Amino acid sequence: MARSPRKPDNDPAPGDPWQVESLRLTVFPIPESSHSAQAWWTELFDAPPDQVVTKPRSGHTQIQSVLDNDIFQLQADPMRVTLLRTARPPDEPIMGNNMLGSYGAARREFTELVAKGISLGSFPRIQRLAFGAVLHQPATDLQAGHGVLARYLPNVEIDEGVSDFLYQINRKRPSSVIDGLEVNRLSKWSMALVHGVILRGDGAVVHTARELSCRSELDINSDAENKNEIPRKSVGDLFTECVEFASEIATNGDVP
């Protein structure tokens, strides 16, 4: 797949303060259905991958390529198929260098890729799907980090001086795409101290860095209790709905 080089985007855009660590599509094929992860990959990217690892006994396949400094990885087994996009390890251990860029821009690129993938004949028949994103906002210190989290968690009180924080909640909503289907809106919020180290070939430390970050992990997924096949014509709309739910949380925080 021909792709233009991604421009560096390490500065938060106005109204888009989140930086992206990873983006993910996970689909759960219909049991006993046949699908080829490698065939889907080749059709999706218009090129063979850099690396393929297969484990015939477990039916697990891992496929990977580096495209425009980003790592694309496809992990597949009989139960699920996951397409993951992350940034390559940076030359300098600074958080912004380890990110895909701003959430809005990275999300648009990823959803365009997924839309293409869903339209392909090699895309599996599925009964469930999920969109995942891991997002960061740098904080200068603990107090600033608490202030960031407070904007997204209005109903949670964080005591002053708290250094370890983790909050997780799932607020379900009915799908507007498929009648009777519920969508899980799972979000995890935390403070993360990110350590970065660069080593020489002989193992000596060349450079280290530490950054405090507010971290939001979003997992928007259709109900696991649904055992019916999601109609092919509805898969794209359902994925778009999951992305919109994630974007709402990234903008407004933990709201019903």
**Which tens digits make up the pLDDT trace of 122-181?**
999 999 999 999 999 988 888 888 899 999 999 998 877 777 889 999 999 999 999 999
Which two structure tokens, joined as six digits, stand for 1?
Answer: 């797949």
pTM: 0.86
Which two structure tokens, joined as six digits, stand for 61?
Answer: 């396949």
- 136: Cα separation from own chain's centroid: 12
Per-residue pLDDT at 82 exceeds 70: yes
**CA gap 6, 101 in Å, rounded:** 9
Query: Could you tell me which residues are beta bridge partners of residue 183?
Result: 173, 222
Residue/partner pairs of 140-143 with CB below 8 Å, 24 or more apart? 140/212, 141/212, 142/191, 142/212
Nearest alpha-carbon partner for 89 in 66, 64, 106, 107? 66
Distances (CA, A) of 166 to 158, 187, 239: 10, 11, 27
- Are 34 and 121 in contact by the 8 Å Cβ rule? The answer is no
Nearest alpha-carbon partner for 82 in 108, 60, 115? 60
Q: What is the pLDDT of residue 16?
A: 82
Q: DSSP for 214-235, please give it.
A: EEEEEEEEE-TT--SPPPHHHH
